[in-house]
């Protein structure tokens, strides 16, 4: 069973607790960009059309890392640069985002409709990536 996040709760309701972690607008958009658009680097996330401020992006990435939804990986030492990758816990959010897309396509006329099968292909890629990372982390160092 995966580790559970512990924090002070205002409720035992699963919906309220999930919203406490990911319910803020910018947090869901960061997860969307990582999960559906394959963005990994700070600059890529910063260039999203919604225009997230740098201080908020930094805070949201840190919070997602703290609760185990994102893992930070060093990709350059000088200057220090990181990539952010969704963990299995992060890719498990796919059905929520998929249903948000479907709901918006049914009820909000101006939303973009993804090509048939695209969401499922994206989900498979993200899940495979998260599983590969989990296996790599489980291997003892040489």
How far is the C-alpha of 75 from the C-alpha of 63, rounded, in Å?
Answer: 20
On the CB side of 78, how many CA atoms lie within 13 Å of its CA? 0
Architecture of the domain defined by 14-135: Orthogonal Bundle (1.10)
Give the pTM: 0.81
* pLDDT digit string, tens, across residues 70-116: 999 998 889 988 999 999 999 999 999 999 999 999 999 999 998 88
Domain ranges of the chain: 14-135
* pLDDT digit string, tens, across residues 14-48: 989 899 989 988 999 999 999 989 999 999 999 99
Q: Which tokens is 58 given?
A: 């930094």
For the stretch 74-78, contacts whose Cβ atoms lie closer than 8 Å and that sit 24 or more positions apart, written own/partner, are 75/41
């Amino acid at each position: 069973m995966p580790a559970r996040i512990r924090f002070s709760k205002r409720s035992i309701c699963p919906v309220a607790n999930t919203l406490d972690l990911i319910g803020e607008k910018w947090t869901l958009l960061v997860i969307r960009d990582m999960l559906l658009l394959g963005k990994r680097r700070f600059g890529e996330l910063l260039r999203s059309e919604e225009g997230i401020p740098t201080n908020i992006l930094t805070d949201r990435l840190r919070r997602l890392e703290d609760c185990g939804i994102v893992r930070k990986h060093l990709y350059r030492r000088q200057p220090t640069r990181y990539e952010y990758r969704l963990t299995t816990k992060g890719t498990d959010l796919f059905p929520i985002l998929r249903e948000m897309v479907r709901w918006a396509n049914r009820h909000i006329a101006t939303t973009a409709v993804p090509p048939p099968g695209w969401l499922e292909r994206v989900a498979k890629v993200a899940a495979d990536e998260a599983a590969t990372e989990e296996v790599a982390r489980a291997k003892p160092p040489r």
